[in-house]
Amino acid sequence: MVVSCPLPAFCAMRILNVLALVIPIILQICILALLLKHRLQRRFIWFFIYTIYSLCELIVRLVASGHYETYFIVYWSTEPVGVAFTVLALRESFLYIFWPEVRWPWFRWVFWCGFGLAIGYSCWLAWALPSREPGSLAPMFIHVEFAVDIVVSVFGLLYAGFIRLFGILVHQRESAIILGFTAIACLGNFGWLTRSVFGTRFKLLSGLVTAVAYIVGELIWTRDLLRPEWKLPQPTQTLEEMIETMSRSIAILQKYLGRES
């Protein structure tokens, strides 16, 4: 017997919510398997822990997705831990590339100023565009989530700028991790703006944007882990052979210059 849904719109939203959790679960399993395959769990220990936690988090949210109040509690109870692991994973990848530079005062000053501006902008935007979500706790949680996304977005932009400024060549894995988090944060900001401006009128759209943000970030990580890591070409000659080759070249040049004179 086929049971029809009395509320087609509600059923469509329910199916989309389930898909928005199932697809990231599948991608997180792929990311976890690829990290283990390439033996990157020690090199990126915090990103590895983040992946495991996110997988467990998504499964719990999927179980609770059928009940709004339970899902609300589960979501905001698990989100702070996920944010903490996100910060640690970003810091880990960043220090792999810029460990010598973080000791420079001007380098730290630029980052702290960027973070200060990001927090100030998020506070101003929260005041200028107050959330129209019903309830007393939901708007506060949403504003905090928006502030975190703004900071992560600015972090990603600063990272990309310094990569270009210093001309760093070997940064594939680290950049992919930071790019994934930055994409999640940037798209999450769009979802926040949709909720703040239109309230619950486009609740489905704002929810889908958040879900798509996680999927985009996970696709970035999956795509990078499927590719071999690029490294600088290793020299084909030993140091002694290179010195000998240079000596021959210098001798030939000196001989040529002697003939010209």
Taking only the tens place, the pLDDT of each residue in 105-120 is: 888 898 889 888 888 8
Is the pLDDT at 3 greater than 50? The verdict is no
Per-residue model confidence (pLDDT) at position 7: 46
Per-residue model confidence (pLDDT) at position 157: 92
Round the average pLDDT of the chain to a whole number and report it: 81
pLDDT, mean of residues 63-84 = 86
Angle between helices 137-166 and 68-98 (to 10 degrees): 20
90 and 181 Cβ atoms separated by less than 8 Å: yes
List, in sequence order, every beta strand (DSSP E) within the chain.
Answer: none
pLDDT, mean of residues 97-112 = 88
Q: What are the tens digits of pLDDT across the range 21-48?
A: 899 999 999 999 999 999 999 999 999 9
Please give the radius of gyration of the chain, using alpha carbons only, rounded to the nearest integer. 25
Please state, in angstroms and rounded to a whole number, the distance separating the CA atoms of residues 260 and 255. 9
Please state, in angstroms and rounded to a whole number, the distance separating the CA atoms of residues 197 and 212. 20
> 90 falls in which pLDDT band (50, 70, 90)?
very high
17-26, 204-213, 230-239 — most confident range: 17-26
> 165 falls in which pLDDT band (50, 70, 90)?
confident
Is the pLDDT at 2 greater than 50? The verdict is no
Tokens of 165: 């400024």
Per-residue model confidence (pLDDT) at position 48: 96
More confident residue, 198 or 106: 106
> 55 falls in which pLDDT band (50, 70, 90)?
very high
209 and 197 Cβ atoms separated by less than 8 Å: no
pLDDT, mean of residues 183-212 = 71
> 1 falls in which pLDDT band (50, 70, 90)?
very low
Per-residue model confidence (pLDDT) at position 198: 58
* pLDDT above 70 as % of the chain: 76
Per-residue model confidence (pLDDT) at position 200: 57
Three-point CA angle 117, 191, 221, nearest 5°: 85
Q: Go through 15-30 and write b for each residue having 16 or more CB atoms within 10 A of its CB, e for each that does not.
A: eebeebbebbbebbeb
What is the total residue count of the chain? 261
Q: Residues with Cβ < 8 Å from 251, sequence gap 6 or more?
A: none
> 156 falls in which pLDDT band (50, 70, 90)?
very high
Supply the pTM of this predicted model.
0.79
184 and 213 Cβ atoms separated by less than 8 Å: yes
Per-residue model confidence (pLDDT) at position 81: 92
111 and 158 Cβ atoms separated by less than 8 Å: yes
Per-residue model confidence (pLDDT) at position 43: 92
